[in-house]
Amino acid sequence: MLMKMRSKGAKFVTFILFGLLILSFVVWGIGDIFRTVGVDTTVVTVGDREVTQQEFATNLQQEVRRTQQALGRTIGQEEIQTFGLAKRALDRIVTQAVFDSLADDLGMAVSEAQIEERLRNDPNFKGPDGKFDPNIVRSALRANNLSESGFVRSLSDGTKRQQVLDSSMSAVKLPGFVAERLFAYEEEKRVGRYVVVYNNSFVDVPDPDEVTLQSYYNDNKQSFLSPEYRSATIIRFTAEDLVDEVSVTEEALLAAYEERREEFNDPEKRSITQLVVPDNETADKVLALVENGKTLEEAATELAVGTPVTLGEIVPGELPENLEKTAYALRNGEVGGPAESPLGFHIVRVDNIVPGVQRGFEEVRDQVERDLRLREAVDTLVSIANSLDDTLASGASLEDAARDLNLPIESFDAIDRFGRDRDQEPIAFLEPRNRIVGTVFETNANEESIVTDTGDNGYYVVRVNGITPQAEQPLDAVREQVLRAWKRQERERLAEELAKAIVAKVQEGVTLDAAIKAVDAPDTANLAVEETSPVKRDERSGEKVPSPQFTRSLFALAPGDTETTQGQLSQIVVQLKEVIPADPQSGTADLEAIEAATAIDMEGDLFVQLMGALRQHYGVSVNQQQVNQLLSNYF
């Protein structure tokens, strides 16, 4: 049975679920590696239904091809593992098998008429005229070495799964009042009044006594550990390192110049002023005045049609085609047009012309030569990286390999996770920092990394010589950091106290405006009452609310209530001024959309629960040994 026509939201969730349930109409060819693996070996057992390695291979290959199409490139073993494609293929197999078992138990059957209808309505099998073309089906079957019976069986199984899913989800229907209440909840707006107390308002925080500082340090020692350092030896080489060793012939330079000749052609530049008028008749009047000796500016003023605007210097391709055609047909100082555009009718004046220049070979020789050397160096990089890999694989040390291949090598006594030395100075040799430093901290002590691409025309390899772990430090070694942290905490505490004092005043019966005048606040606090525009409960924009926490507090309060909440380096006093209810019967209430979206959520929850119950009912067993065997052959 074909997919039922449902709401847009329901179609979307059905598509998601069916990606797991229904095999593609055309199962693309599987490489010989899959056909030679024991096709009769069971990989997954669901109840009394067995799934073979061949079926698992088919599903895995589908996942690989789907991912490659999404990325627009091929993927290798590491990415197949990273993306968890084997697990996704197994999950799909189990889901299909579970629903197949349920369909059998329910006695579901599919007629030939249903299969035929499904085929005829599938867009994959329609010709240029939009009609079903059986020749496309036959060609697909031949190209993929599929029998007609096997293909029809796949369609039949998929249709039965569809019926099971439809019958399971058909009960998902929301009572009308639910959508109304959801609308009222989501669209309700509130207006809040608030006061921001910034932590740094408390400028003059005195130093704590020694006992207090020591106690704070003892409670927060983990925040003041010395960083982990690693000593490492690194070979790093880039195309730039090889440029001076690359030689290029005069013939190659000339050929490279000819290939890039257009790049060295500086186009003609024109300074343009334009006047845009609303219609062709007005444009003709402007041009007539200009012909009679008026300037463009004088004509525009006389006809009261605006002010000419200088566009500045332009080159070909920067203006709309018809406007550019007009501008480049004029001589220096001439006025012409009109050129029509969606904005109106453009009258153009050329204020200046800078002729185009073709830079000659000798003028750009150094640039062409360096670029060509760099390109040749990039080509050489891979060969050098392979040689380095082979040399290290033969047992050579990094030092020996660097000497034999004339590669730059450096040793560092201490590198932290930010690529700095013990003096907190960045180590230039570690660029690109995120890659090389990451490898340094992923490599075990006394081990070497693999030769790795830097991602910017370079390669590197790392040996970690030793690791100095994080360690507690005496207070005197980190006194300044501890003191700054304590003062930061103290400012936060004082700001929180002040915010709570304002709330206490309001609760005594005074207004928020009066409360900020009644409390003892430092002059630097600059306390002021502000008010939001009406906001909904999902509002997070810093232009409308002072913090995300503010919105949560605002929608938890009753009208007139006041409380404190956290802000960005501040404490906020929040007061609910007004509640603006949403009207489900208003013209803006899209109750159908809310109902559809909620149904999608409910269908998803129901599907997860159904799958869990069916897996438990039928029992699912995965033969991981057979899975690993197939994956090892695949990789």
Instruction: Return the pLDDT at 38.
Output: 39
Q: What is the CATH number of domain 229-246+364-468?
A: 3.10.50
Name the strand (E) or helix (H) holding 529.
Answer: none
8-172+617-634 and 229-246+364-468 share one CATH topology? no
Distance, CA of 434 to CA of 448 (rounded, Å): 18
Instruction: Return the pLDDT at 545.
Output: 93
Within 10 Å of residue 233's Cβ, how many Cβ atoms? 18
Report the alpha-carbon angle 33-38-44, nearest 5: 105
The domain 8-172+617-634 is placed in CATH, from the list 1.20.1530.20, 1.10.4030.10, 1.10.3470.10, 1.10.3480.10, at: 1.10.4030.10
Nearest of 262, 266, 335, 263 to residue 298 by alpha carbon = 335
Question: What percent of the chain clears pLDDT 90, i.e. is strictly above it?
Answer: 37
Terminal CA-CA length for the chain: 39
Instruction: Return the pLDDT at 381.
Output: 84
Instruction: Return the pLDDT at 589.
Output: 60
Q: Is the pLDDT of residue 171 over 80?
A: no
Highest mean pLDDT among 142-151, 218-227, 623-632: 218-227
DSSP 309: E
For the record, the structure tokens of 365 come out as: 């020789």
Write down the domain spans for the chain.
8-172+617-634, 189-218+479-580, 229-246+364-468, 268-355
Nearest of 472, 443, 446, 445 to residue 460 by alpha carbon = 443
Per-residue confidence band for 460, with pLDDT thresholds at 50, 70 and 90: very high
Q: What is the pLDDT of residues 500-540, one digit of tens each?
A: 999 999 999 999 999 999 999 998 999 999 999 999 999 98
Q: Taking residues 335-356, what's their average pLDDT?
A: 88
Lowest mean pLDDT among 39-53, 97-111, 264-278, 318-332: 39-53
Question: What percent of the chain clears pLDDT 70, i.e. is strictly above it?
Answer: 90
**More confidently predicted of 308 and 112:** 308
Phi, psi at 233, each rounded to 5°: -115, 135
Q: Taking residues 379-407, what's their average pLDDT?
A: 91
Per-residue confidence band for 39, with pLDDT thresholds at 50, 70 and 90: very low
Q: Is the pLDDT of residue 200 over 90?
A: yes
Lowest mean pLDDT among 312-316, 356-360, 625-629: 625-629
Query: CA quadruple 615, 618, 623, 627: dihedral positive or negative?
Result: negative
Distance, CA of 311 to CA of 350 (rounded, Å): 10
Q: What is the pLDDT of residues 72-82, one digit of tens each?
A: 777 777 778 78
Instruction: Return the pLDDT at 31.
Output: 36
Distance, CA of 162 to CA of 169 (rounded, Å): 10
Distance, CA of 279 to CA of 286 (rounded, Å): 11
Instruction: Return the pLDDT at 170.
Output: 66
What's the whole-number average pLDDT of the chain? 83
3-state helix, strand, coil in the chain (%, to 5): 50, 20, 30
Instruction: Return the pLDDT at 315.
Output: 85
Per-residue confidence band for 43, with pLDDT thresholds at 50, 70 and 90: confident
Nearest of 405, 409, 406, 410 to residue 386 by alpha carbon = 405
Helix (H, G, I), strand (E, B) or coil at 564: strand
**Strands 265-266, 357-358: pairing kind:** antiparallel
The domain defined by 268-355 carries CATH number 3.10.50.40? yes
Overall pTM surpassing 0.75 (yes/no): no
Instruction: Return the pLDDT at 224.
Output: 93
Which residue type, as a one-letter code, is found at position 544?
K
**More confidently predicted of 254 and 460:** 460
Q: What is the pLDDT of residues 464-480, one digit of tens each?
A: 999 999 999 999 999 99
Q: What is the pLDDT of residues 90-113, one digit of tens each?
A: 888 888 888 888 888 888 887 778
Where does residue 173 rank: exposed (0-12), middle (13-18), buried (19+ CB within 10 A)? exposed
Q: What is the pLDDT of residues 397-451, one digit of tens each?
A: 999 999 999 899 999 999 999 999 998 899 988 877 778 999 999 999 999 999 9
Lowest mean pLDDT among 84-93, 222-231, 258-267: 258-267
Instruction: Return the pLDDT at 480.
Output: 94
Phi, psi at 422, each rounded to 5°: -65, -20
Where does residue 55 rank: exposed (0-12), middle (13-18), buried (19+ CB within 10 A)? buried
Instruction: Return the pLDDT at 410.
Output: 94
Q: Taking residues 141-159, what's their average pLDDT?
A: 72
Highest mean pLDDT among 240-249, 375-384, 395-404: 395-404
Report the alpha-carbon angle 502-508-513, nearest 5: 45
